[in-house]
Every structure is written in C-alpha cells, then in structure tokens.
Structure 1
Amino acid sequence: MKTFYTSSYIVKKNTSKLLFWTVFIWPITLLMGLEVIITEKDIQTFGLIMKEGLFSIGIPLYALIVVVFFLQMVAREFYIGKSERILEFLIAMSNYKTQFYGRLLGVSMIVLISNLFYAAILIIFKGKSYQIGKLLHQFDFLDTKQLFEFLIALFLFSMFVILFSVLVGIETRDVSKISQHLGSVYLLIISASIINLISNDFIQKKVLLYIPFFNISSIDFQTSLINIVIIFGIDIFTLTLFIIGLQKLFKKRVEIQ
C-alpha cells in the first residue's frame, strides 16, 4: 500500500507543476505547422520511410523525445539527498523497497499519462485535419501482429531509457550535475540507432540480436517470429536483472545517507 502511496505522491508532485503540461504544446504546434506546409510528395516519402524503418527510426526518435522532456524528472526522483527526506517522512519512514518501487512506478505512470495525451492528440488530428490525417494513415499498412510487436518494442526501449536515467539519479552526488550526466543516456540512444542503421544484415541478425537494448531497433518487418521471441525474452530478462541491481544500489545509497 505504501508503494502506491509513494507513486501517487510522485505523480501528483510532478503533474501539479505547470511546466509539466507545457510538454504537450510542442506536438500540437508541430502538427499545426505540418498541416500548413506538408505536401502530397512529403506524405508519400514519409510513408516509404516508415515502411522501411519504423522500428529503427521510430523507436529511437520516440526515446529521444522521452529523454528531452522526462528524464530530468526521472533522475531527480531517484536522487538521494536531503530534499528527499520530505518524501521519506510523508510515507512514514517506509523501507527502501517501498521507496524504490514507489518512485519507479510513479515516474512510469507519468510517462504513461504523457503517452496517452500524445495518442489522444494524434487521434484528434487524424480525424479533424486533412493533411495530417493522410500522413497518419500511412501507418495503416501495419497489421495487428506488427502493431503489437511495435508497441512491445516501444515499451521495452522506453523502460531501458527510464532505468538508465534511474541509474544516473542514484549515482549522481550533485543534483545540479544530473543534466550533465544524462549525456551518457543521450549517447547510448544515439549509438544504438546508428549502429543498427550502419550494420549489415549478418551483424543485425547474428550479433545485435543477442545484445539487450541494441537489438530492439534492429527489428524490421522481415524479422522472424523466433527472433522476435528471442529479442523480447532477452530484453525482459535483462530489464528484470537491471531493476534488481538498481534496487540494491538504491538500498546502498539510502544506507549511506
């Protein structure tokens, strides 16, 4: 119960800030601008790009958006310092597991809430806007299986990005340097996408297939069901180990404080 109390406190604390809601202004502004300047040729080109590189381009692009708008918040929620004693007091001096999983659930809920808003914005523009509607219809080539695979891959990639940010927050001794240390997360995302784009078919299917995080954006529409299962299995197992390791590291930092 205290875990959910902690997570609800995290969600309320962040969503009550006006700055949090400003992150929804940029997609609306972008879509309104595209509605005016986009051409039929642009729409066709976009459709071809998405059919060829939805996983290798779309997932890293989304992860970069998450980095820009949310990872400062994620890292700060796991920063162990005097300011966090207020949170510890509010949850009645609960143990480190409650603290850790409450914060992790809280920041994950904030990202989920944001995704739902982004989805709602896209649905509205798809139905109400002429050019943007045609642009978004370029994704109609996805069947149910492909859409399901893409959403799982998006979730796994996002979880890796969030957990790397949690690591930055736990390891950072000076809260003012969080943004500086998040550069490592930016670099990881960019390197994962670049390596997948420049790698040949053999490296993607025989090497990157078994490397967690890097294997997600190597998925394409020709990836076999067996390889999909291997990728998702490896990544889920790695995420589980990652969470357990972060929990122990969090405990160590709490004890030191």
Structure 2
Amino acid sequence: MKRPLSLLALATGLLAGCSGPQMACMTPICPVAHWPLNEAPGATTVQDLVASPIFNTGTPKPGPVAAWPGFSGPTSVSGQSGGALYFPGNGDTYVEVPSTPDLNLSYGSLYLEAYVAPVQCGAGAYYPILDKWDLASANGYTLYLEGVGSGQVRVALRLGGGTFTSSQTLPANFQPPSTGTWTSVAVKVDGTSGAFYVNGNPAGTFTAPAGTTANTLPLWIGAVHTAPAGLFHCEIGLDELRVGRVNPIFSGQ
C-alpha cells in the first residue's frame, strides 16, 4: 500500500501538471526539485520534474547509469516507487547537479526529503543522500544517514557550522538490487525551528542557525564533497529525492 503523499510531493504534482508560466506556490512547502531516480541503465542524465525556474537536471558520474551489478556509475535497482539508484561506498559514484540560485536554500526555509535504503555497515558509517556544503566557508547543507549500531541508522543534517541528528532510528538492511526496507526521511527548517521526520512521523527537533547558502558548489546526490568528521562511507539506495522551501504564507515564524 502506498503511503500518503507528503506536502512537497503534492505540490510537485500540482506544478508538474501546469503548462505555460510557473504556477504560484500555494502549498506549505514550495518545490524546488524532484528527482524520481527512475533512470534505466545507460542513462546519461537524471531528470528533475520541477521547473523552479529551470529543471535541475543531473549527470551520473563517473559514467552513465549502470545495470546491476555494474558500478561504472550509479546503479539501477528496485526502489520504493519503480526504480531507484544505488550508490556504492567509494565516494566516486554520484549524480552531479550544477549549482543554481534555487538550490542555494535559505537556512530558515529548507525542506529535504528522500526514500532511503541503507545497507548494514554498523556504527560510525555515513550514508550520503545529498550535499551542497562548502568546507572553506562552512556554508551550505548536507543530508545523510549515520550508523548508530547493528542494523540501525539515524538521519543527520549538516547546516552551516552545525550538525543535527534525529531522535528516531530506522533500519539499515538493504541487499541490492531488490531486498530490504525503504524508509521516508525528511527534514524541515522554518526560521530557527528545525524538525526531522521518519515515515512522516516527528523524529526530533533542533534550533537551526541563521544564514543562507551562497556557495557555487554543485549539488551531489549519493556522495559528499567533504566527509563528516570521523565517519566512514557506506552504501545506500536512494529514491524520490525532493528539495523545497517553506512557504512564508504558512510559516510559523
């Protein structure tokens, strides 16, 4: 049975159904990008469904999407909804999305969401979801998972100079290409109020720093520009990755 649509998924669907000029955002979360990650083996682009104001199309690296068990690029596997992409733990396989103004999110208006399927790597592992964080300026954001024990991970957000983690864990048991648990994870920042969600349920809060992303780094899916300190890279499957902003009309600030 499919889970209810998130606010960002609903908003993405509304905007994707429009033609002509971009429809004004009238939902609590305004879509910036949505990568379904359904690409078949051989694909040389990764599609974004949201023109905000342009499509943030990605490029698989170091080569086209590969068929299982190939690793010359992100690997096509079964996902939560249709296909998904699997990223080995080498740090050299990812999707690169060029930097655009709409991906330079305000720290106080940010929403990140994905379906994730991490493998079992144990405590001390990190699993990249998306990254646009610059080490030199400590500016930007990274969404990843962190291993906390046997078969368990938590959600982590690196935002500016701070790192925040969810209070709830989720399973790490993916055995590609098709066996294991897919879990919806999300983080929302509205002003200084930050909150994590796991399968749509609250999973911890935090106080977010002030600031705005101003770097020109490309956004990476499935890898990070700078690894979280003290952690080692592990493998992950990703599906239905979304980026959005908090609509000020609905903001609690």
Q: State the TM-score, normalizing by the size of structure 2.
A: 0.26
More helix by share: 1
- Between structure 1 and structure 2, the one with the greater Rg is 1
